Amino acid sequence: MDAPATQNRVQPRMRYDGNGTSARIGLIFMASSIAMESEMWAMAAPGVAIHTTRIKLPKVTVEGIEEMMNAPELRQAAELLGSAPIDVLCFGGTSASFLHGTAYDHALIEKLKRWAPGPKVTTASTASLAALAAVGAGTVALATPYVDAVQARAIRFLEENGHKVVSHRNLGIDKDQALAEVPIEKVYELALSVDTPEASAIFISCTNFWSVGAIEALEQALGKPVISAIQASFWHCLEISGVNGAKPGYGRLFQHRLMRETGAAGS
């Protein structure tokens, strides 16, 4: 009797389709922002996927950020994202999670865990601190696009967590879309300008501020670690998921989280 036709059929070659077979990262991001999603996908090795839901940010000021964080859409976003089969949920707002200090950031994580039980949870601020610790940073130089009031909150957050800010510059931008209009070359020059011999690392804060494409060049130029909030957030999602799922070229932070040379992104 002849074998079924299916047994003799040549199996078709399947193309990579973006399926998160190693890790699915759920991202809560600002509705008017674009940089973080794009940069996370750029850093993600095959097998790591990013799934996003959005909340509205009126303005990049203390008042605008508070309005966003007090709106019911934050809980709705967490619940919606948590209904997907994700491995980790990341709140992708640095200033929104450090705005009122470390205790506020921790409380935000606990709320997200209640609203989206199941996945591991991090925030851009928690991830940034973890990344600074991972590269052994102490004192830091800070580069941001923030207005002065938000810059002051960033400095306070870093210093209350043991990272004295020895130098800093900010661009004074208060419109979210304008943050992502700053060219990467200007971000590179901004980061260079804040460096001092006293700084053990450079920290670039803001998740709608292009950064990861400049990190390798900055580390080569400065000879010290460079951490950005977007880079740190992606790295921390891999770290708490136990997944080696980063492409090379995005900074020394990823030295233990790079995709394995076999081509399989796995733990």
d(CA 221, CA 110): 39
pLDDT tier at 8 (50, 70, 90 boundaries)?
confident
Give the Cα separation of 202 and 128 in Å (integer).
12
Q: Which phi and psi angles does 19 have, rounded to 5°?
A: -65, 135
Q: Judge whether 6 lies within some domain.
A: no
Residue 246 has pLDDT above 70, yes or no: yes
pLDDT tens digit string along 27-67?
A: 999 999 999 999 999 999 999 999 999 999 999 999 999 99
The domain containing residue 176 runs over which residues?
Answer: 23-254
The DSSP letter of residue 253 is G
Res 267 pLDDT > 50: no
- C-alpha to C-alpha distance for 177 and 76, rounded to whole angstroms: 23
**Residue 146 placed within a domain:** yes
Torsion of CA 149, 150, 154, 159, to 10 degrees: 20
Nearest-angstrom CA–CA distance, 11 and 3: 16
Alpha carbons 230 and 40: distance in angstroms, whole number: 7
User: Would you say residue 133 has pLDDT above 90?
Assistant: yes
16, part of any domain: no
- 12 inside domain: no
Instruction: Say what the pLDDT of residue 2 is.
Output: 54
Q: Which residue has the tokens 């030295």?
A: 255
Determine the longest span between alpha carbons in the chain, in angstroms: 81
60 touches 67 (CB < 8 A): no
- CATH number of the domain that 134 lies in? 3.40.50.12500
Could you give the percent of the chain with pLDDT greater than 70?
A: 95
What pLDDT score does 265 carry?
41
The position carrying tokens 């036709």 is 5
- Please give the pLDDT value at position 11: 87
Residue 143 lies in a domain: yes
Mind listing the pLDDT tens digit for each residue in 11-23? 899 999 999 999 9
Does residue 156 belong to any structural domain of this protein? yes
CB 202 within 8 A of CB 227: yes
pLDDT higher for 81 or 5?
81
CA distance 244 to 103: 30
Residue 253 contacts residue 232 (beta carbons within 8 Å): yes
CA distance 150 to 28: 20
| Confidence (pTM) | 0.93
Q: State the total domains in the chain.
A: 1
For 137-179, write each residue's pLDDT tens digit.
999 999 999 999 999 999 999 999 999 999 999 999 999 999 9
Q: For residue 114, give every residue at least 6 positions away whose Cβ sits within 8 Å of its Cβ, in sequence order, or none.
A: none
Q: Give the span between the Cα atoms of 128 and 162, in whole angstroms.
A: 13
Torsion, CA 98, CA 103, CA 108, CA 113, rounded to 10: 140
Residue 35 within any structural domain of the chain: yes
**Residue 2: inside a domain, yes or no?**
no
Rounded to whole angstroms, the Cα distance separating 88 from 119 reads 5
Question: What local confidence, expressed as pLDDT, does residue 7 receive?
Answer: 67
**What is the distance between the alpha carbons of residues 160 and 93, in angstroms, rounded to a whole number?**
19
